[in-house]
Structure 1
Amino acid sequence: MIEHTSWQYKKHLPLEWKIGQMLAVGFPAGADGIASLARVVKASYAGNVILFTRNTPDVAETRKTAASVKTLIREVTGVSPLIAIDQEGGIVARLKGGLTPLPGAMAQAAAYLGGGIQKSDIKALGKICAEELRSLGINWNLAPVADVNSNPSNPVIGVRSYGENPKLVADLASAFAAGLEEGGVLATAKHFPGHGDTSVDSHLDIPLVPHGIERLEAIEFVPFRRLVDEGIPAVMTAHIRLPSVEPDMLPATLSSRVLQGLLRKKLGFEGIICSDCMEMKAIADHFPNAFVMAVKAGVDILFISHTAEKQLYAAHSIYEAVKKSEIAESQIDASVERILAAKEKINQTSAFDAYKKTVAGPHAVALAKKISRTSLSVLAQGSITKPPSGSVLVDVVPGNITNAEDSLHSVSIHAELTRQNAPIFSCAVPLNPKEEDIAAALSCAERYLSAPASAIQETEAKPALILALHAPMLHSGQMKLVQASVRFAQDRSCPLLVILTRNPYDAPSIAKEAARANLPAPTIVCSYEYSEASVASIVAFLTGKLEAKGICPVTVEG
C-alpha cells in the first residue's frame, strides 16, 4: 500500500474523515482493547492513538499493539496514525520494562547543575528515548515538560519540571526535544501556557494562574518561546485559567485568546496544537460542549484517552458544529493540513520500523545511569556525609501521587540493600504508615542499632537512623514516622539521615521537626524520583560508593 498523506490528495475526502484526523484516542488493554479501538475507528475515522501503561506491559506486547494499531488505522483511513505516549522519564514513563530507565526532568537538571552532565548528554538521552520508542512503532512523545515549577505546592508538575529558572528549563527542554527530533519522533512542549505555578491538579479541577502578562513573559513563556522558535512540532495545552489573557475565565484549552492570539500570533507557533486529555475533570466537569469549544479555540488534535462513548461523541459533536456553521470547515481543513504535514515529515525522517529491534543498549543504559548517579543532591548537610556501617534504613514504599502516574513501582531500596548484603539493616513501611507500622519499624531499628559491635563492621562513627521518604507532606503517616524517628534519634543520640525520593520541597519540614526536638540538623539528600535508576544510585550512596554531587534546581527554603 502506497501512502499519500499530502493535503492535495486528501482534501476532497468527507468531513467525517477530516474530523477523525483531529482525534487521538486511548483504548483498553489487550485484544479486547484493540477490538474496542476498531469500533471507534470504523465509526469515527479516528486517525491517532495514545498509549498508556495498560497497553505497554512489556516491549514485545507494545510492539505488537503498535503494529496492530497502525494496520487498523491505515486500513480504515488510508493514512498511518500518530501513536503517542507520555515518556517523560522519571515518575511519568508509560514504558518501563526492558527500556533504558530515563531519569526525569528535575533529576536531569540536578545532574546538569552539579554532576558534570552537559546539554549534549540531555540531547543524547532524548535521542535514546526516541530511538527506543521508534523501534516499538511509537512516533510521538508527549515530552518535554516546559513548565517552570515556581510553586513549591504544585501538586502535579513538581519534579516533572526542569526547575524554577526559566532559562534552565528552556535550555534542557530544548536539548531533550532536539534529541527526540534527531531520533525520529515528534516532540511536544507541554503544558502551555505554563502549569508550573499552580496549586490545583487539572486532573481534578481548574487551576488558576493569576499573573499579569509581564510576569508571564519573564517566567512561564520563556521555555515555550524558545521551543517554538526552534520549530517544536507540537504544543500541548493546559486546562488552566489565565485571566490576564482570557478575561472570560475559560481554561487555555478552550480559549481562542490563548491559543490563537497568544500561541499562534504572539509566539508565532505554526505546528500542531494538541489538548491535554479532554476527560480530565478541569474540562469534563465544567464544560459539556468542550470538544466543540476546543476546536473553535484552535486545538488541532483532541486527546480523549479512555472512554469510547466520549470519543464517538466528540466526532459527532464537531461534525454537527461544522454543519451548523458554528465551526468553519476551513478551520478543520487548516488543522488537518498541519496534522498531515507532521505525519509526512515523521515518515520521511525515518521509516516507521527502521530502527533495530533492540532497546536498553549498553551505551544508553550507561548514560542514564550516569545522569541518575550525578543527580543525587544534598539539600541539608548534617553531622554525617554518608551512613556508617550498621545504620538502619526505614524505607517508605512509594505509590502514585498524581493522576499523571499510572504504574506501580516494582523496585525497592530495602530489597536492593538486602540483595547486596550491604552493611546497612533495613525494613519497609507503607506509603502512609499506621501507628503499628511505625512501631514495628522503630522496633527493628532499636534491635539493630543496639546490636553488639561484633555484629556490624568496625567503625568510628555512630550508626545512623535513615528514612527514605516519598512525598511526606502529602501523607500524615509519614510525618508521624518523621516525628517518632526524631524522638528515637534524640533518645539514642544517633544521627538522622533522610532520603527524599520525590519532592525536594519537603526538606524544610523535616529540618523543622528535628529543630523542634533540639536534634542536630539531619543530613537530607534528594533523588527526585523512586525508580530503577534512582534506587541504584541511592544504594550506591548509602554503601559509600557514590558521592551526592547534584545541585537542586529549585529553591528549598527553611
Structure 2
Amino acid sequence: MKGFFRYALIAVLLASAVIHPDTRTAEAKHPPGHSVKQLVNSMTLEEKIGQMLMPDFRNWKKKEDSSAKGLTEMNNEIAGIIQKYHLGGVILFAENVTGTEQTVRLTDGLQKASRGIPLFITIDQEGGIVTRLESGTNLPGNMAIGASKSAKNAYRSGNIIGKELAALGINVNFSPVLDVNNNPGNPVIGVRSYSSKPELAAGLGIQAMKGLQKENIAATAKHFPGHGDTSVDSHYGLPLVPHDQERLKRVELYPFKQAIDAGIDMIMTAHVQFPAIDDTTYKSKKDGQDIMVPATLSKKVMTDLLRKNLGFDGVVVTDALNMKAISDNFGREEAVVMAVKAGVDIALMPAEVTSLETEKNLANVYEALLKAVRQGNIPIEQINRSVERILSLKSKRGILDDNSSGSLQKKIKHALKTVGNHKHAKAEMKMAKEGVTVLKNDDRTLPFKPKKGDTILILAPYEDQTKAMSKTVRRIKKTAVVKEYQFAEKVFNQDVQKLIDEADYIVTGSYVVKNDPVVNDGVIDDTIQDSSKWATAFPRAAMLYAQAKQKKFALMSLRNPYDTANFEEAKAVIAVYGFKGYTNGRFRQPNIPAGVEVIFGKARPKGTLPVDIPSVTKPGNTLYEYGYGLNIKNGKPLKQEGLQ
C-alpha cells in the first residue's frame, strides 16, 4: 500500500507543482521545496539508492543469443532490472540509437518500465567527433566552433542538439565540454574542447548550455575539475594535473565556475589526480602501488571544492566508473561507495550488465551502497540531499511528467520531422565553413582553379575521408578527374609518386592525434619510413614530392590542429577540426566538405585558431598563435580573437 500512496503523491505533486507540458517553458520553476522533500521522505532507502545509479544497457545478451548485441528494442528482462533496482536513469550509446523511430520506441519503453519516478535518459551528444545518434545532426564540433569565435554558433549547436534529443525522448545531454585544452599532447580531449583560453571555453560552453536548456534538456558541464591539460586518456590510465591552486583557479576551474553561475544543471567528474587539491593516497588494486585519489573519488574535490567553494548545488554525476583509471585501481563496489562518500549524486555505469547472468554485478554495487548507509559510513542525510537534487532537476526539466506528453505515434512523427532535418543540416554546414582556418597560403596557392579534364588527387588516411573529399570535389568540379588513395599504415613509394606525377592538384588530409615526428637537430627527419610513423611521414613525403614537382598542393588538418606544425614547408595549409568522412550514404561531419569548398573557392573561411600551435622543430616556440588565421581573398590576417 505504501507504493500506491507514494505514486498518488507523485501525481498530486505533478498536478500542483509542475507546469502542464503544453505550456511549460525551459525556465519552469522547481516545485515548492517541501513538495520534493515530501516525495523523498516517502521513498524507501532502496528506492533512493536506485535513483543514484545510472547503468548502461549498451549491449544485451538474451538466453537464446550466442553473444551480446547492441540493445535497440526494449525487453522484459531490462524492464525487470529497472524496476527491481528502482533505477533513476540510464545512459545510451551509439549501439542503442541506430534510427529515429527505433530510438523513440526504445526511450518510450524505458520510461514505461519505470513505474514510479521517470528516468533520466542520457547520452553523450557533444557534436563533432563525439556523437551517438545515427540519424542525428553531427555538427562540426566544439573546436570548430571555437575557431569561429561565434556565440551564435555555440548557442545554435546546443539548440539543434536539444531539439533532436527532446524529440527522441532523451532528456539529459552530457555536454558541454568545458575542458581547457592547453596540452597539445592530450589524447582524449583535443577538438572536443572549445579552446585553450578559459574565457572562450566558458563563453561558448555557456551558450551551448543555454541552447540545450531552451529545449528543456538538462545540460552537463564536464569533466570537473578539468581534463584539458593531461597526456593520459582516463579510459586507459590515471592522468595527473600537477598545477598549483592559483593556476587551477585561473584556468581549469574558470569555465566551471562561470557555468555554475549561469545555471548549469549537472557537472560530470574527471578521473584525474589533482595533488594541489587532494594528495591522499590509496593502494592500487592493480599493482599495490600508492596512487593519489582521482577527483571522482575525492571528498576534497567533490564536496569541499565543488559544493562549498564554488557553490554548486546541482546534480554531480561521475564519468563512467568502468574506465580503467577507476576500474584498474579500485574495486567496483569500493569505487561506487567512495564516489558517493565523496559527494557525487549519481554513479554512472557502476557495473557492467549485459545479461541476466551479469545482473549480479549491479546487485553487488546496489547492496554495497545499502550496506554503507545502514552501517553509517554514508549518512542518510547525504543520500536524501542527493535524491532531492535529482528529483528537483527532474521536475525543473519537465521529466517527472514525461509519460503524459502524447501518444507514441505522435512522438515518432515529430521526431522524424526534427532529427537530422534539412534546416539543421544547412546550419551545421554554415558553422563548419565559418570555422575552417587558413594557416598558410603562399603564392596564392588557394583557391584551386582546375580546368576541364585536370586530375585532382585525394590522399587521406581512411576511405571515409577520401570519399568525403572526392564526393565534394565532384559536386563542385564536375569536369575534373578525381582519384583517391588511402594511406593509413602505408609508406610513401613509387606507386604514390606516379599518382602525384599524373595529377594537377593534390589535397592531402593529415590525421594525427598526438604529434610524434622524428626531429634531428631541429629538422624533421624525412628519411624515417617506420610504419608506426605513417601519420606524419606519409603526408610529409607527399607534400615534399608534390611541391618539388611544382604541383598545386594543399594540406588539410583533419583532427587536432597541432599537427599542422609538421608541414611548415607546405604552401597551403588549412585546419577543419573534424575527421569523420562519408559512410553509409551520409556525411558523418560537415568539416571535410567545408574544407574542400574553401580549397576550391566555394566558401570563404572565417576561422582563427582557438589554440596555440607549438613548433615541432623549435621546442618551446609557437609556430601559429591563438587567434591567427588568413583571409583567403587578400592573404591578410583575420582580426577575430575573442568571443563574437
Instruction: Answer whether TM exceeds 0.5 for this pair.
Output: yes
**Does the CA-based 8 Å contact 1:422-1:543 persist in structure 2?**
no
**Corresponding position: 1:302 with 2:347:** yes
**Corresponding position: 1:373 with 2:450:** no
RMSD: 2.5
Q: How far is 1:39 from its partner?
A: 4.3
Q: Which residue of 1 aligns with 2:119?
A: 81
Q: Which residue of 2 aligns with 1:175?
A: 207
Distance 1:385 1:416 in 2: 17
Matches within 5 A, 1:80-229: 80-97=118-135, 99-112=136-149, 117=150, 119-229=151-261
Q: How far is 1:320 from its partner?
A: 1.6
Q: How far is 1:218 from its partner?
A: 0.8
Q: How far is 1:15 from its partner?
A: 1.3
Higher mean displacement: 130-139 or 40-49: 40-49
Match of 1:413 among 458, 464, 469: 469
Q: Which residue of 1 aligns with 2:324?
A: 281
**Corresponding position: 1:22 with 2:79:** no
Q: Which amino acid aligns with 2:182?
A: S
Q: How far is 1:305 from its partner?
A: 7.2
Q: How far is 1:485 from its partner?
A: 0.9
Distance 1:529 1:59 in 2: 24
Q: Deviations over 1:366-403 (max 9, x none)?
A: 3222111111101233331223413633332459xxxx
Match of 1:313 among 343, 358, 364: 364
Gaps of 5+ in 1: 400-407, 450-462, 515-520
Distance 1:398 1:299 in 2: 41
**Does the CA-based 8 Å contact 2:510-2:536 persist in structure 1?**
no
Q: How far is 1:441 from its partner?
A: 4.0
Q: Deviations over 1:184-219 (max 9, x none)?
A: 100000000011100000001111000001101110
1:45 aligned counterpart, secondary structure: coil
Q: How far is 1:124 from its partner?
A: 2.7
Q: Which residue of 1 aligns with 2:265?
A: 233
Gaps of 5+ in 2: 1-6, 14-35, 60-69, 281-291, 517-531, 580-587, 616-644
Higher mean displacement: 31-40 or 335-344: 31-40
Q: How far is 1:54 from its partner?
A: 0.2
Q: How far is 1:349 from its partner?
A: 10
Pair 1:160–1:412, CA change in 2 (3 A) = same
**Does the CA-based 8 Å contact 2:127-2:141 persist in structure 1?**
yes
Q: How far is 1:464 from its partner?
A: 3.4
Distance 1:81 1:419 in 2: 45
1:169 aligned counterpart, secondary structure: helix
Q: Deviations over 1:248-287 (max 9, x none)?
A: 1210000000010100011000000000000000000001
Q: Which residue of 2 aligns with 1:387?
A: 448
Q: Tell me the number of residue pairs that the alignment of Structure 1 and Structure 2 aligns.
A: 517
More helix by share: 1
**Does the CA-based 8 Å contact 1:391-1:464 persist in structure 2?**
yes
Q: Which residue of 1 aligns with 2:276?
A: 244
Distance 1:245 1:380 in 2: 42
Q: How far is 1:25 from its partner?
A: 1.3
Match of 1:343 among 384, 391, 394: 394
Q: How far is 1:410 from its partner?
A: 11
Distance 1:238 1:227 in 2: 16
Higher mean displacement: 46-55 or 340-349: 340-349
Q: Which residue of 2 aligns with 1:453?
A: none
Pair 1:220–1:63, CA change in 2 (3 A) = same
Match of 1:425 among 479, 482, 489: 482
Q: How far is 1:440 from its partner?
A: 4.2
Pair 1:120–1:496, CA change in 2 (3 A) = closer
Distance 2:558 2:77 in 1: 38
Distance 1:178 1:252 in 2: 27
**Does the CA-based 8 Å contact 1:411-1:535 persist in structure 2?**
no
Q: Deviations over 1:30-84 (max 9, x none)?
A: 36774553343233222200000000111111111111111112x2xx0100000
Pair 1:544–1:279, CA change in 2 (3 A) = same
Distance 1:424 1:163 in 2: 38
**Does the CA-based 8 Å contact 1:125-1:364 persist in structure 2?**
no
**Corresponding position: 1:499 with 2:563:** no
Distance 1:409 1:134 in 2: 31
1:264 aligned counterpart, secondary structure: helix
Q: Which amino acid aligns with 1:177?
A: M
Q: Which residue of 2 aligns with 1:434?
A: 490
Q: Which amino acid aligns with 1:524?
A: V
